Chains A and B, each alone.
Chain A
Protein backbone atom coordinates (compact mmCIF):
# COMPACT_ATOMS: atom_id res chain seq x y z
CA UNK A 1 0.00 0.00 0.00
CA UNK A 2 1.44 3.33 -0.97
CA UNK A 3 2.19 5.68 1.88
CA UNK A 4 2.56 9.41 2.19
CA UNK A 5 5.23 11.03 4.34
CA UNK A 6 5.36 14.73 5.02
CA UNK A 7 8.29 15.97 7.05
CA UNK A 8 9.06 19.38 8.50
CA UNK A 9 12.41 20.09 10.09
CA UNK A 10 12.57 21.91 13.39
CA UNK A 11 12.81 25.37 11.81
CA UNK A 12 9.90 24.74 9.46
CA UNK A 13 7.85 23.32 12.32
CA UNK A 14 8.79 26.36 14.41
CA UNK A 15 7.44 28.61 11.64
CA UNK A 16 4.18 26.63 11.43
CA UNK A 17 3.53 26.84 15.18
CA UNK A 18 4.55 30.48 15.53
CA UNK A 19 2.31 31.40 12.60
CA UNK A 20 -0.59 29.64 14.36
CA UNK A 21 0.30 31.28 17.69
CA UNK A 22 0.43 34.70 16.10
CA UNK A 23 -3.15 34.20 14.95
CA UNK A 24 -4.14 33.95 18.61
CA UNK A 25 -3.11 37.57 19.05
CA UNK A 26 -6.40 38.42 17.39
CA UNK A 27 -8.28 37.08 20.40
CA UNK A 28 -10.41 39.96 21.72
CA UNK A 29 -9.14 41.57 24.93
CA UNK A 30 -10.44 40.23 28.23
CA UNK A 31 -12.34 42.78 30.30
CA UNK A 32 -13.41 42.90 33.93
CA UNK A 33 -14.25 45.28 36.72
CA UNK A 34 -14.62 45.56 40.48
CA UNK A 35 -16.04 48.09 42.91
CA UNK A 36 -15.24 48.78 46.56
CA UNK A 37 -17.08 51.70 48.13
CA UNK A 38 -16.10 54.85 46.28
CA UNK A 39 -13.27 53.08 44.47
CA UNK A 40 -13.64 51.16 41.26
CA UNK A 41 -11.27 49.42 38.90
CA UNK A 42 -11.67 47.86 35.52
CA UNK A 43 -9.27 46.42 33.00
CA UNK A 44 -8.93 45.51 29.36
CA UNK A 45 -6.33 42.88 28.62
CA UNK A 46 -4.98 41.47 25.38
CA UNK A 47 -1.61 40.04 24.41
CA UNK A 48 1.11 39.85 21.79
CA UNK A 49 3.76 37.18 21.33
CA UNK A 50 7.10 38.95 21.27
CA UNK A 51 9.74 36.26 21.63
CA UNK A 52 10.28 32.55 22.16
CA UNK A 53 11.34 29.35 20.45
CA UNK A 54 10.02 25.87 19.79
CA UNK A 55 12.06 22.70 20.04
CA UNK A 56 11.20 19.19 18.98
CA UNK A 57 12.27 16.53 21.44
CA UNK A 58 13.24 12.90 21.26
CA UNK A 59 10.43 12.19 23.71
CA UNK A 60 8.03 12.87 20.87
CA UNK A 61 6.87 16.16 22.26
CA UNK A 62 7.00 19.80 21.28
CA UNK A 63 8.74 22.07 23.76
CA UNK A 64 7.73 25.72 23.75
CA UNK A 65 10.54 27.63 25.42
CA UNK A 66 10.22 31.05 27.04
CA UNK A 67 7.53 32.41 24.85
CA UNK A 68 7.23 36.08 25.86
CA UNK A 69 3.64 37.25 26.09
CA UNK A 70 3.43 41.01 26.26
CA UNK A 71 0.12 42.35 27.55
CA UNK A 72 -1.16 44.71 24.92
CA UNK A 73 -3.62 46.25 25.31
CA UNK A 74 -3.45 46.43 29.11
CA UNK A 75 -5.54 49.32 30.24
CA UNK A 76 -6.52 49.84 33.85
CA UNK A 77 -9.15 52.36 34.82
CA UNK A 78 -9.20 53.42 38.45
CA UNK A 79 -12.07 55.56 39.60
CA UNK A 80 -13.02 57.47 42.70
CA UNK A 81 -16.54 58.70 43.30
CA UNK A 82 -16.23 61.69 45.59
CA UNK A 83 -19.18 62.39 47.85
CA UNK A 84 -21.26 65.49 47.31
CA UNK A 85 -20.16 67.80 50.09
CA UNK A 86 -21.88 71.12 50.41
CA UNK A 87 -21.33 74.15 52.53
CA UNK A 88 -24.28 76.19 53.68
CA UNK A 89 -27.77 75.25 54.69
CA UNK A 90 -27.19 76.19 58.33
CA UNK A 91 -29.98 77.90 60.22
CA UNK A 92 -28.83 81.36 61.29
CA UNK A 93 -32.09 82.70 62.69
CA UNK A 94 -34.60 80.70 64.66
CA UNK A 95 -37.92 82.14 65.90
CA UNK A 96 -40.44 80.28 68.05
CA UNK A 97 -38.59 77.05 67.47
CA UNK A 98 -38.76 77.40 63.70
CA UNK A 99 -35.87 78.21 61.44
CA UNK A 100 -36.50 81.50 59.65
CA UNK A 101 -33.31 81.88 57.65
CA UNK A 102 -31.03 79.27 56.20
CA UNK A 103 -27.78 80.04 54.43
CA UNK A 104 -27.70 79.08 50.75
CA UNK A 105 -25.85 75.90 49.80
CA UNK A 106 -22.75 75.81 47.62
CA UNK A 107 -21.09 72.60 46.42
CA UNK A 108 -17.47 72.08 47.43
CA UNK A 109 -17.12 69.71 44.54
CA UNK A 110 -18.24 70.52 41.04
CA UNK A 111 -21.21 69.15 39.16
CA UNK A 112 -19.60 65.84 38.36
CA UNK A 113 -17.39 64.54 41.13
CA UNK A 114 -16.54 61.23 39.46
CA UNK A 115 -12.90 60.85 38.58
CA UNK A 116 -11.74 58.04 36.35
CA UNK A 117 -8.07 57.77 35.54
CA UNK A 118 -7.14 55.47 32.69
CA UNK A 119 -3.65 53.98 32.99
CA UNK A 120 -2.25 52.52 29.86
CA UNK A 121 0.21 49.76 30.74
CA UNK A 122 0.12 48.29 27.24
CA UNK A 123 3.42 46.72 26.39
CA UNK A 124 4.91 47.26 29.88
CA UNK A 125 4.21 43.93 31.54
CA UNK A 126 5.39 40.67 30.10
CA UNK A 127 4.71 37.09 31.06
CA UNK A 128 6.80 34.14 30.10
CA UNK A 129 5.18 30.97 28.82
CA UNK A 130 6.90 27.62 28.62
CA UNK A 131 5.33 24.25 28.10
CA UNK A 132 5.48 20.80 26.65
CA UNK A 133 2.90 19.52 24.22
CA UNK A 134 2.18 16.22 22.58
CA UNK A 135 0.86 16.09 19.06
CA UNK A 136 -2.48 14.42 18.51
CA UNK A 137 -4.61 13.92 15.47
CA UNK A 138 -8.30 13.90 14.78
CA UNK A 139 -10.65 13.86 11.83
CA UNK A 140 -13.12 16.61 11.19
CA UNK A 141 -16.30 15.63 9.38
CA UNK A 142 -18.85 18.35 8.88
CA UNK A 143 -22.57 17.63 8.92
CA UNK A 144 -22.93 20.45 6.42
CA UNK A 145 -21.16 18.27 3.86
CA UNK A 146 -24.35 16.20 3.58
CA UNK A 147 -24.49 13.96 0.52
CA UNK A 148 -21.98 15.93 -1.51
CA UNK A 149 -19.39 13.97 -3.45
CA UNK A 150 -15.78 14.36 -2.38
CA UNK A 151 -15.16 16.72 -5.31
CA UNK A 152 -18.22 18.83 -4.49
CA UNK A 153 -17.09 19.00 -0.85
CA UNK A 154 -13.63 20.04 -2.03
CA UNK A 155 -14.98 22.91 -4.10
CA UNK A 156 -17.80 24.09 -1.84
CA UNK A 157 -16.92 26.60 0.83
CA UNK A 158 -18.22 25.93 4.31
CA UNK A 159 -20.92 28.58 4.72
CA UNK A 160 -22.47 26.92 7.74
CA UNK A 161 -22.06 27.98 11.39
CA UNK A 162 -21.23 24.43 12.43
CA UNK A 163 -17.64 25.07 13.51
CA UNK A 164 -18.53 28.37 15.16
CA UNK A 165 -21.36 26.76 17.12
CA UNK A 166 -19.14 23.88 18.27
CA UNK A 167 -16.51 26.36 19.43
CA UNK A 168 -19.04 28.53 21.23
CA UNK A 169 -20.48 25.52 23.00
CA UNK A 170 -17.11 24.36 24.28
CA UNK A 171 -15.78 27.80 25.22
CA UNK A 172 -19.12 28.49 26.90
CA UNK A 173 -18.20 25.86 29.50
CA UNK A 174 -15.27 28.03 30.70
CA UNK A 175 -16.47 29.66 33.92
CA UNK A 176 -16.65 33.42 34.44
CA UNK A 177 -16.54 34.35 30.78
CA UNK A 178 -19.45 36.52 29.71
CA UNK A 179 -21.37 35.44 26.62
CA UNK A 180 -19.96 38.24 24.50
CA UNK A 181 -16.41 37.18 25.35
CA UNK A 182 -17.24 33.52 24.68
CA UNK A 183 -18.58 34.44 21.27
CA UNK A 184 -15.64 36.71 20.51
CA UNK A 185 -13.06 34.07 21.45
CA UNK A 186 -14.89 31.38 19.49
CA UNK A 187 -15.30 33.63 16.47
CA UNK A 188 -11.58 34.47 16.55
CA UNK A 189 -10.62 30.81 16.20
CA UNK A 190 -13.14 29.96 13.50
CA UNK A 191 -11.15 31.38 10.53
CA UNK A 192 -8.16 29.28 11.64
CA UNK A 193 -10.20 26.13 11.01
CA UNK A 194 -12.98 26.91 8.60
CA UNK A 195 -12.31 26.15 4.95
CA UNK A 196 -14.24 23.94 2.51
CA UNK A 197 -16.63 21.09 3.27
CA UNK A 198 -14.10 18.30 2.73
CA UNK A 199 -13.17 15.99 5.59
CA UNK A 200 -9.88 16.93 7.24
CA UNK A 201 -7.16 15.39 9.30
CA UNK A 202 -6.28 17.80 12.02
CA UNK A 203 -3.13 18.08 14.14
CA UNK A 204 -3.35 19.46 17.66
CA UNK A 205 -0.89 20.42 20.37
CA UNK A 206 -2.13 18.87 23.62
CA UNK A 207 -0.96 20.40 26.87
CA UNK A 208 1.36 18.09 28.86
CA UNK A 209 2.49 20.82 31.20
CA UNK A 210 2.80 24.58 31.01
CA UNK A 211 3.98 27.43 33.12
CA UNK A 212 2.75 31.00 32.87
CA UNK A 213 4.87 33.40 34.93
CA UNK A 214 3.52 36.85 35.53
CA UNK A 215 6.49 39.03 36.12
CA UNK A 216 6.42 41.48 39.06
CA UNK A 217 2.77 42.26 38.77
CA UNK A 218 2.19 42.84 42.49
CA UNK A 219 4.90 45.40 43.08
CA UNK A 220 4.32 47.00 39.72
CA UNK A 221 0.62 47.37 40.36
CA UNK A 222 1.05 48.64 43.90
CA UNK A 223 3.58 51.26 42.88
CA UNK A 224 1.36 52.39 40.10
CA UNK A 225 -1.64 52.58 42.42
CA UNK A 226 0.18 54.50 45.11
CA UNK A 227 1.26 57.08 42.59
CA UNK A 228 -2.19 57.05 41.14
CA UNK A 229 -3.91 58.05 44.37
CA UNK A 230 -1.48 60.97 44.71
CA UNK A 231 -2.16 61.82 41.12
CA UNK A 232 -5.92 61.79 41.66
CA UNK A 233 -5.64 64.04 44.72
CA UNK A 234 -3.45 66.41 42.73
CA UNK A 235 -6.08 66.42 40.03
CA UNK A 236 -8.76 67.25 42.58
CA UNK A 237 -6.63 70.15 43.71
CA UNK A 238 -5.74 71.19 40.17
CA UNK A 239 -7.84 74.38 40.07
CA UNK A 240 -6.45 75.62 43.34
CA UNK A 241 -3.52 78.05 43.18
CA UNK A 242 -0.26 76.39 44.21
CA UNK A 243 0.15 78.71 47.18
CA UNK A 244 -3.12 77.38 48.62
CA UNK A 245 -2.46 73.71 47.94
CA UNK A 246 -1.28 73.06 51.48
CA UNK A 247 -4.49 74.45 52.89
CA UNK A 248 -6.60 72.55 50.41
CA UNK A 249 -4.67 69.39 51.26
CA UNK A 250 -5.36 70.07 54.93
CA UNK A 251 -9.07 70.30 54.19
CA UNK A 252 -9.33 67.48 51.68
CA UNK A 253 -6.97 64.91 53.13
CA UNK A 254 -9.09 64.36 56.27
CA UNK A 255 -12.16 64.10 54.06
CA UNK A 256 -10.52 61.40 51.98
CA UNK A 257 -9.30 59.69 55.19
CA UNK A 258 -12.81 59.70 56.58
CA UNK A 259 -14.22 58.26 53.39
CA UNK A 260 -11.64 55.53 53.77
CA UNK A 261 -12.34 54.99 57.47
CA UNK A 262 -16.10 54.96 57.05
CA UNK A 263 -15.91 52.45 54.28
CA UNK A 264 -13.26 50.49 56.16
CA UNK A 265 -10.74 50.59 53.39
CA UNK A 266 -7.89 52.82 54.53
CA UNK A 267 -4.59 51.31 53.48
CA UNK A 268 -6.44 48.12 52.68
CA UNK A 269 -7.40 49.69 49.39
CA UNK A 270 -3.96 48.79 48.13
CA UNK A 271 -4.34 45.25 49.38
CA UNK A 272 -7.74 45.09 47.80
CA UNK A 273 -6.50 46.37 44.47
CA UNK A 274 -3.47 44.13 44.63
CA UNK A 275 -5.71 41.21 45.38
CA UNK A 276 -8.00 42.35 42.59
CA UNK A 277 -5.09 42.12 40.19
CA UNK A 278 -3.79 38.85 41.56
CA UNK A 279 -7.22 37.29 41.50
CA UNK A 280 -7.77 38.52 38.02
CA UNK A 281 -4.47 37.16 36.88
CA UNK A 282 -5.13 33.98 38.81
CA UNK A 283 -8.35 33.68 36.92
CA UNK A 284 -6.45 34.45 33.78
CA UNK A 285 -4.20 31.48 34.53
CA UNK A 286 -7.21 29.22 34.93
CA UNK A 287 -8.81 30.64 31.83
CA UNK A 288 -5.48 30.22 29.98
CA UNK A 289 -5.46 26.53 30.99
CA UNK A 290 -9.02 26.07 29.76
CA UNK A 291 -8.28 27.86 26.52
CA UNK A 292 -5.17 25.70 26.02
CA UNK A 293 -7.35 22.64 26.56
CA UNK A 294 -9.79 24.00 24.01
CA UNK A 295 -7.03 24.71 21.49
CA UNK A 296 -5.54 21.28 22.15
CA UNK A 297 -8.84 19.66 21.27
CA UNK A 298 -10.40 21.95 18.71
CA UNK A 299 -7.92 24.29 17.04
CA UNK A 300 -5.37 22.49 14.87
CA UNK A 301 -2.03 24.00 14.05
CA UNK A 302 -2.18 22.08 10.78
CA UNK A 303 -4.92 20.32 8.83
CA UNK A 304 -4.90 18.10 5.74
CA UNK A 305 -7.84 17.41 3.51
CA UNK A 306 -8.96 13.88 2.92
CA UNK A 307 -9.23 12.86 0.17
CA UNK A 308 -6.03 14.84 -0.33
CA UNK A 309 -5.79 16.94 -3.56
CA UNK A 310 -2.55 15.45 -4.72
CA UNK A 311 -2.89 17.24 -8.06
CA UNK A 312 -4.79 20.55 -8.22
CA UNK A 313 -5.52 21.25 -11.89
CA UNK A 314 -5.47 24.91 -12.79
CA UNK A 315 -6.98 24.35 -16.26
CA UNK A 316 -10.43 23.71 -14.89
CA UNK A 317 -10.22 19.94 -14.78
CA UNK A 318 -11.16 18.23 -11.59
CA UNK A 319 -8.34 17.71 -9.08
CA UNK A 320 -6.91 14.31 -8.32
CA UNK A 321 -8.09 13.43 -4.84
CA UNK A 322 -6.47 10.64 -2.89
CA UNK A 323 -8.06 9.27 0.26
CA UNK A 324 -5.65 9.48 3.19
CA UNK A 325 -6.11 7.15 6.13
CA UNK A 326 -4.25 5.64 9.06
CA UNK A 327 -2.50 8.89 9.77
CA UNK A 328 0.37 8.84 12.25
CA UNK A 329 2.74 11.44 13.64
CA UNK A 330 6.28 11.03 14.82
CA UNK A 331 8.38 13.68 16.46
CA UNK A 332 12.07 13.58 17.21
CA UNK A 333 14.61 16.27 17.87
CA UNK A 334 15.21 16.75 14.13
CA UNK A 335 11.84 16.72 12.45
CA UNK A 336 8.11 16.37 12.61
CA UNK A 337 6.80 13.65 10.29
CA UNK A 338 3.27 12.84 9.23
CA UNK A 339 2.78 9.38 7.72
CA UNK A 340 -0.39 8.12 6.13
CA UNK A 341 -1.70 5.32 3.91
CA UNK A 342 -3.00 6.34 0.52
CA UNK A 343 -5.95 4.21 -0.48
Chain B
Protein backbone atom coordinates (compact mmCIF):
# COMPACT_ATOMS: atom_id res chain seq x y z
CA UNK B 1 0.00 0.00 0.00
CA UNK B 2 1.40 3.35 -1.00
CA UNK B 3 1.77 6.13 1.52
CA UNK B 4 -0.77 8.92 1.44
CA UNK B 5 1.03 12.06 0.45
CA UNK B 6 -1.64 14.69 0.82
CA UNK B 7 -2.41 16.27 4.15
CA UNK B 8 -5.82 14.75 4.86
CA UNK B 9 -6.76 17.47 7.35
CA UNK B 10 -7.00 20.05 4.61
CA UNK B 11 -10.20 18.57 3.24
CA UNK B 12 -11.78 17.46 6.48
CA UNK B 13 -14.08 20.31 7.45
CA UNK B 14 -16.62 22.49 5.69
CA UNK B 15 -17.84 24.45 8.73
CA UNK B 16 -16.31 26.03 11.80
CA UNK B 17 -17.31 28.08 14.83
CA UNK B 18 -14.91 30.38 16.62
CA UNK B 19 -16.19 29.07 19.96
CA UNK B 20 -14.90 25.62 19.08
CA UNK B 21 -12.62 25.96 16.14
CA UNK B 22 -10.84 23.61 13.73
CA UNK B 23 -8.28 23.90 10.95
CA UNK B 24 -10.50 26.28 8.96
CA UNK B 25 -10.00 29.00 11.54
CA UNK B 26 -7.07 30.97 12.96
CA UNK B 27 -7.58 33.34 15.87
CA UNK B 28 -5.24 36.27 16.49
CA UNK B 29 -5.16 38.20 19.76
CA UNK B 30 -2.79 40.90 21.02
CA UNK B 31 -1.27 40.64 24.50
CA UNK B 32 0.38 43.84 25.58
CA UNK B 33 1.18 43.46 29.24
CA UNK B 34 4.62 42.13 30.17
CA UNK B 35 4.59 38.98 32.27
CA UNK B 36 4.13 35.25 32.26
CA UNK B 37 0.94 33.67 31.03
CA UNK B 38 -0.45 30.17 31.06
CA UNK B 39 -2.49 28.85 28.19
CA UNK B 40 -4.80 25.85 28.35
CA UNK B 41 -6.06 24.06 25.27
CA UNK B 42 -9.42 22.34 25.41
CA UNK B 43 -10.83 19.86 22.95
CA UNK B 44 -14.53 20.31 23.69
CA UNK B 45 -14.52 19.95 27.52
CA UNK B 46 -11.29 18.01 27.83
CA UNK B 47 -8.02 19.80 28.56
CA UNK B 48 -5.58 18.66 25.88
CA UNK B 49 -2.52 20.50 27.16
CA UNK B 50 -1.07 23.75 28.39
CA UNK B 51 1.69 26.16 27.49
CA UNK B 52 3.64 29.03 28.97
CA UNK B 53 3.81 32.36 27.23
CA UNK B 54 6.24 35.07 28.27
CA UNK B 55 5.57 38.64 27.14
CA UNK B 56 8.85 40.48 27.20
CA UNK B 57 9.41 43.97 25.89
CA UNK B 58 12.89 42.99 24.69
CA UNK B 59 11.74 39.99 22.72
CA UNK B 60 12.20 40.31 18.97
CA UNK B 61 9.34 37.99 18.21
CA UNK B 62 6.16 39.75 17.15
CA UNK B 63 3.96 36.70 17.19
CA UNK B 64 3.58 33.39 19.01
CA UNK B 65 2.20 30.68 16.71
CA UNK B 66 0.34 28.11 18.79
CA UNK B 67 -0.67 24.99 16.88
CA UNK B 68 -3.19 23.30 19.16
CA UNK B 69 -2.92 20.05 17.22
CA UNK B 70 0.64 19.58 18.46
CA UNK B 71 -0.74 19.21 22.00
CA UNK B 72 -2.67 16.10 21.05
CA UNK B 73 -1.02 13.18 22.94
CA UNK B 74 -0.95 11.21 19.71
CA UNK B 75 1.06 13.93 18.02
CA UNK B 76 3.32 14.29 21.07
CA UNK B 77 4.06 10.58 20.87
CA UNK B 78 4.71 10.90 17.14
CA UNK B 79 7.08 13.79 17.86
CA UNK B 80 8.95 11.65 20.42
CA UNK B 81 7.46 13.33 23.47
CA UNK B 82 8.20 16.86 22.34
CA UNK B 83 5.43 19.44 22.43
CA UNK B 84 6.19 23.12 21.99
CA UNK B 85 4.93 24.47 25.28
CA UNK B 86 7.17 27.53 25.81
CA UNK B 87 6.53 30.70 23.83
CA UNK B 88 7.82 34.23 24.00
CA UNK B 89 6.96 37.44 22.23
CA UNK B 90 7.26 41.20 22.57
CA UNK B 91 4.70 43.53 24.12
CA UNK B 92 3.49 44.56 20.68
CA UNK B 93 3.08 40.97 19.57
CA UNK B 94 0.12 38.73 18.82
CA UNK B 95 -0.86 35.23 19.83
CA UNK B 96 -1.77 33.30 16.69
CA UNK B 97 -3.82 30.22 17.54
CA UNK B 98 -4.62 27.59 14.93
CA UNK B 99 -5.05 23.86 14.31
CA UNK B 100 -3.00 22.02 11.70
CA UNK B 101 -4.62 18.68 12.45
CA UNK B 102 -8.05 17.11 12.40
CA UNK B 103 -9.18 18.54 15.73
CA UNK B 104 -12.57 20.18 15.93
CA UNK B 105 -14.28 22.01 18.80
CA UNK B 106 -11.11 23.51 20.24
CA UNK B 107 -10.88 26.54 22.50
CA UNK B 108 -7.94 28.13 24.27
CA UNK B 109 -7.92 30.03 27.51
CA UNK B 110 -5.00 32.25 28.53
CA UNK B 111 -4.58 33.37 32.12
CA UNK B 112 -1.89 35.34 33.89
CA UNK B 113 0.58 33.58 36.13
CA UNK B 114 2.63 34.78 39.10
CA UNK B 115 1.10 37.96 40.51
CA UNK B 116 -1.61 37.96 37.87
CA UNK B 117 -2.45 34.30 38.53
CA UNK B 118 -5.91 33.15 37.45
CA UNK B 119 -6.81 36.47 35.87
CA UNK B 120 -8.31 35.64 32.52
CA UNK B 121 -6.49 37.47 29.75
CA UNK B 122 -8.06 35.84 26.73
CA UNK B 123 -10.54 33.15 25.78
CA UNK B 124 -10.98 32.21 22.12
CA UNK B 125 -14.71 31.82 22.84
CA UNK B 126 -14.99 35.52 23.60
CA UNK B 127 -13.80 37.58 20.68
CA UNK B 128 -13.81 41.34 20.48
CA UNK B 129 -12.56 44.46 18.85
CA UNK B 130 -8.82 43.82 19.02
CA UNK B 131 -9.00 40.30 17.65
CA UNK B 132 -8.71 38.94 14.15
CA UNK B 133 -10.42 35.79 12.98
CA UNK B 134 -9.16 34.16 9.81
CA UNK B 135 -11.29 31.63 7.96
CA UNK B 136 -9.81 29.59 5.15
CA UNK B 137 -12.43 27.43 3.44
CA UNK B 138 -10.99 24.91 1.00
CA UNK B 139 -14.10 23.61 -0.71
CA UNK B 140 -15.86 25.54 -3.44
CA UNK B 141 -19.52 26.21 -2.71
CA UNK B 142 -21.96 28.65 -1.15
CA UNK B 143 -21.23 29.70 2.41
CA UNK B 144 -22.91 31.57 5.23
CA UNK B 145 -21.06 33.73 7.76
CA UNK B 146 -22.76 34.42 11.10
CA UNK B 147 -22.14 36.44 14.22
CA UNK B 148 -24.22 34.60 16.78
CA UNK B 149 -23.97 37.36 19.39
CA UNK B 150 -25.59 39.99 17.18
CA UNK B 151 -27.64 37.75 14.88
CA UNK B 152 -25.73 39.01 11.85
CA UNK B 153 -25.45 36.95 8.70
CA UNK B 154 -23.91 37.20 5.26
CA UNK B 155 -23.57 34.85 2.31
CA UNK B 156 -20.76 34.44 -0.14
CA UNK B 157 -19.37 31.89 -2.55
CA UNK B 158 -16.01 30.18 -2.84
CA UNK B 159 -15.46 29.79 -6.52
CA UNK B 160 -12.96 27.99 -8.65
CA UNK B 161 -11.17 29.91 -11.30
CA UNK B 162 -13.50 29.96 -14.30
CA UNK B 163 -10.65 29.42 -16.70
CA UNK B 164 -9.75 26.29 -14.77
CA UNK B 165 -6.36 27.86 -14.09
CA UNK B 166 -3.93 26.97 -11.43
CA UNK B 167 -4.56 28.19 -7.91
CA UNK B 168 -1.28 28.87 -6.17
CA UNK B 169 -2.27 29.22 -2.52
CA UNK B 170 0.96 31.08 -1.77
CA UNK B 171 -0.02 33.90 -4.13
CA UNK B 172 -3.55 34.50 -2.91
CA UNK B 173 -3.88 37.81 -1.09
CA UNK B 174 -6.04 37.66 2.03
CA UNK B 175 -9.52 39.14 1.81
CA UNK B 176 -10.41 41.52 4.62
CA UNK B 177 -14.00 41.48 5.90
CA UNK B 178 -14.83 44.17 8.47
CA UNK B 179 -17.54 43.29 10.99
CA UNK B 180 -19.37 46.25 12.47
CA UNK B 181 -22.77 46.86 13.97
CA UNK B 182 -23.99 47.02 10.38
CA UNK B 183 -22.87 43.48 9.71
CA UNK B 184 -20.23 41.81 7.56
CA UNK B 185 -18.80 43.78 4.66
CA UNK B 186 -18.15 41.04 2.11
CA UNK B 187 -16.02 42.30 -0.80
CA UNK B 188 -17.34 41.92 -4.30
CA UNK B 189 -14.20 40.20 -5.50
CA UNK B 190 -14.35 36.50 -6.08
CA UNK B 191 -13.04 34.42 -3.18
CA UNK B 192 -11.05 31.34 -4.15
CA UNK B 193 -10.39 28.05 -2.37
CA UNK B 194 -7.46 28.38 0.06
CA UNK B 195 -7.84 32.18 0.19
CA UNK B 196 -7.65 33.60 3.71
CA UNK B 197 -10.68 35.63 4.83
CA UNK B 198 -9.63 37.97 7.61
CA UNK B 199 -12.59 39.05 9.76
CA UNK B 200 -11.87 42.32 11.57
CA UNK B 201 -14.52 42.68 14.24
CA UNK B 202 -15.39 46.06 15.62
CA UNK B 203 -17.81 44.47 18.06
CA UNK B 204 -17.94 41.43 20.30
CA UNK B 205 -18.60 38.36 18.28
CA UNK B 206 -18.94 34.62 18.12
CA UNK B 207 -18.41 33.66 14.52
CA UNK B 208 -19.62 30.72 12.50
CA UNK B 209 -18.75 29.71 8.96
CA UNK B 210 -21.03 27.16 7.32
CA UNK B 211 -21.18 25.66 3.89
CA UNK B 212 -24.71 25.97 2.60
CA UNK B 213 -24.28 24.18 -0.69
CA UNK B 214 -21.25 22.50 -2.22
CA UNK B 215 -20.29 23.54 -5.72
CA UNK B 216 -22.27 21.86 -8.43
CA UNK B 217 -25.06 20.57 -6.14
CA UNK B 218 -28.58 21.87 -6.22
CA UNK B 219 -30.11 22.90 -2.93
CA UNK B 220 -32.71 20.47 -1.70
CA UNK B 221 -36.23 21.81 -1.76
CA UNK B 222 -37.47 22.28 1.77
Contact = CB atoms under 8 A, between A and B. Distances in A.
Contact of A247 (B11, B23, B136, B165): B11
B140 interface: yes
Given A101-B96, A109-B5, A250 B140 contact: yes
A107 B100 CA distance: 9
B72 to A, nearest CB: 15
A248 interface: yes
23 contacts: A86-B169, A87-B136, A87-B170, A93-B132, A100-B94, A103-B174, A104-B26, A104-B65, A108-B7, A109-B7, A110-B4, A110-B7, A238-B2, A239-B8, A240-B11, A244-B11, A247-B193, A247-B215, A248-B11, A250-B140, A251-B138, A254-B165, A254-B166
A240 B134 contact: no
Contact of A115 (B5, B7, B23, B167): B5
A246 interface: yes
A241 interface: yes
A337 B160 CA distance: 80
A102 B98 CA distance: 12
Contacts of B138: 247, 251
Nearest to A243: B214
Contacts of B28: 92-93, 101
A247 B194 contact: no
Contacts, number: 118
A132 to B, nearest CB: 48
Given A104-B96, A110-B3, A90 B67 contact: no
Given A101-B63, A103-B96, A254-B166, A237 B215 contact: no
A229 interface: no
Interface residues of B, number: 47
Contacts of A244: 11, 139
A162 B139 CA distance: 71
B165 A92 contact: no
Interface of A: 82, 85-87, 89-93, 100-104, 106-110, 112-115, 117, 235-241, 244, 246-248, 250-252, 254-255, 257-258
Contacts of B11: 240-241, 244, 247-248
B172 A109 contact: no
Contact of B173 (A90, A114, A241, A248): A90
Contact of A92 (B6, B172, B196): B196
Contacts of B166: 254-255, 257-258
A241 B9 CA distance: 11
User: Which interface residue of A109, A112, A239, A257 has the most chain B CB atoms within 10 A?
Assistant: A239
A247 B139 contact: yes
Contact of A254 (B7, B164, B173, B216): B164
Given A89-B170, A112-B3, A239-B6, 19 more contacts: A87-B170, A92-B196, A101-B132, A102-B63, A104-B67, A104-B98, A106-B7, A107-B7, A109-B6, A115-B5, A235-B2, A239-B4, A247-B139, A251-B167, A251-B194, A254-B161, A254-B165, A254-B167, A257-B166
B177 to A, nearest CB: 12
B10 interface: yes
A184 B59 CA distance: 64
Interface string B85-116: 00000001010101010000000000000000
